[in-house]
Amino acid sequence: MLSGVNYMRIKLMVNGAEHALEVEPRTTLLDCLRDHLDLKGAHAGCEHGVCGACTVLCDGVAVRSCLMFAPQAEGTPITTIEGVTPGPGELSPLQDAFCETHGMQCGYCTPAMILAAHALLAGNPNPTRDDIVEAISGNLCRCTGYAQIVEAIALAADRIRGANRPPELRK
Partner 1 sequence: MKAAPFAYSRVANVDEACAMLASDDSARVIAGGQTLVPMMVMRLVRPTRLIDINRIVELSYIRSDGDTISIGATTRQCLVERDALIAADIPLLARAISFVGHAATRARGTIGGSLANADPAAELPLIAITLEATLAYRVEGRTEKMAARDFYIGPMTTSLPSDAVLTSVQFPKWLGKVGVSFCEVNARRSDFAFVAAAVQVELGDDGRCDRIAIGIGAATDFPIRLASAEQQLKGSALDAVTVKGAVLEALADFAPLSDLHASAEYRRRVAAALATRAVVDARSHALGRQLHAH
Q: Could you tell me the sign of the dihedral formed by the alpha carbons of 128, 135, 143, 14, in that order? A: negative
β-pair type (8-14, 17-23): antiparallel
Rule CB under 8 A: say whether 43 interacts with partner 1. Answer: no
Rule CB under 8 A: say whether 55 interacts with partner 1. Answer: yes
Taking CA 15 as the corner, what is the angle to CA 13 and CA 17, rounded to the nearest 5 degrees? 50
Whole-angstrom distance, CA of residue 57 vs CA of residue 78: 6
Rule CB under 8 A: say whether 71 interacts with partner 1. Answer: yes
Strands, sheet with 55-58, edge to edge from the N-terminal-most edge strand: 17-23, 8-14, 77-79, 55-58, 61-64
Rule CB under 8 A: say whether 48 interacts with partner 1. Answer: yes
Residues 100-129 that bind partner 1 (CB under 8 A): 116, 119
Whole-angstrom distance, CA of residue 152 vs CA of residue 128: 13
Residues 79-98 that bind partner 1 (CB under 8 A): none
Cα separation values, 42 from 28, 39, 168, Å: 12, 7, 40
Shortest reach from residue 5's CB to partner 1, in Å: 7
Rule CB under 8 A: say whether 138 interacts with partner 1. Answer: yes
Among the residue ranges 35-43, 51-59, 77-85, 162-170, the one whose residues contact partner 1 (CB under 8 A): 51-59
Query: Which residue from 1, 3, 5, 17 is in contact with partner 1, where contact means CB under 8 A?
Result: 5
Closest CB to partner 1 among residues 116, 154: 116
Q: Using CB under 8 A as the criterion, which residues of the chain lie in contact with partner 1 when the complex forms?
A: 5-6, 8, 24-26, 28, 31, 46-49, 52, 55, 58, 61-64, 66-69, 71-72, 116, 119, 134-135, 137-139
